[in-house]
Structure 1
Amino acid sequence: MSSENTAPVPSGTAADSPFRHESVRRDEAPQFVLPLVVHLEKTAPPARTDALETAARAVLVMLSDARSLGEGEWAQAMRDWQDARIRKVVRRARGAEWRKASALPGLTVTGKSAEVRVFPPVPLDGWPKELAKLQVSGTELDDPEPPADPDPTRPVLWMSPDVDMSAGKAMAQAGHGAQLAWWELSAAAREEWREAGFPLAVRTAARDQWAALTASGLPVVRDAGFTEIAPGSCTVVADHPALRR
Structure 2
Amino acid sequence: MRASCPGTIRSAKNHRFGGWQTGGVSTEDTQNPPSDSPFHDDSPRDEARQYVLPLVVHIEKAEPPARTDALETAARAVLVMLSDERSLGEGDDEGEWARVMRDWQDARIRKVVRRARGAEWRKASALPGITVTGKEAEVRVFPPVPLDGWPKELAKLQVSGTDLDDPAEPGAPEAIAPVLWLNPDLGMSAGKAMAQAGHGAQLAWWELTEPERAAWRETGFALAVRTADPAAWHGLTRSGLPVVRDAGFTEIAPGSCTVVADHPALRARVAGG
Find out whether 1:54 has 2:76 as its counterpart. no
Partner of 2:111: 88
2:120 partner amino acid? E
Could you tell me how far 1:24 is from its partner in structure 2?
A: 1.8
Alpha-carbon distance in structure 1 between the residues aligned to 2:31 and 2:116: 32
Q: Please report the TM-score for the alignment, with normalisation by the length of structure 1.
A: 0.96
* Residue 147 (structure 1) aligns with: 170
Tell me the residue number matched to 2:14.
Answer: none
1:133 Cα deviation (Å)?
Answer: 0.2
Match of 2:88 among 69, 78, 98: 69
User: How has the CA–CA distance of structure 1 residues 195 and 185 changed in structure 2, closer, same or farther, with 3 Å as cutoff?
Assistant: same
Q: TM-score, normalised by structure 2?
A: 0.86
Structure-1 separation of matches of 2:206 and 2:159:
27
Instruction: Mark the runs of 5 or more structure 2 residues left unpaired by the alignment.
Output: 1-19
1:4 matched to which residue of 2?
26
Q: Which one of 87, 97, 105 corresponds to residue 120 of structure 2? A: 97
Between the aligned partners of 1:6 and 1:34, the Cα distance in structure 2 is 10
Residue 248 of structure 2 aligns to a residue whose secondary structure is: coil
Work out the CA distance in 1 between the residues paired with 2:85 and 2:136: 27
Is the 8 Å Cα contact of residues 161 and 207 (structure 1) preserved in structure 2?
yes
Moved over 6 A (4+): none
218, 241, 261: which one aligns with 1:238:
261
- From 201, 205, 225, the counterpart of 2:224: 201
How far off its partner does 1:196 sit?
1.0
Query: Using the alignment, how far apart are the partners of 2:25 and 2:131 within structure 1?
Result: 19
Please state how far the C-alpha of 1:7 moved relative to its aligned partner: 3.1
SS for the counterpart of 2:29 is coil
List aligned pairs for 1:95-174, cutoff 5 A: 95-136=118-159, 138-174=161-197
1:8-42, Cα deviation, whole Å (9 max, x unpaired) = 3268x3733433x3x22111110000000000000
Aligned mates of 1:225, 1:57 — CA distance in 2: 24
CA RMSD after TM alignment: 1.3
Other-structure match for 1:18: 39
Share of identical aligned residues, percent?
A: 75
Structure 2 distance, partners of 1:168, 1:175, is 11
CA distance in 2, matches of 1:149, 1:62: 27
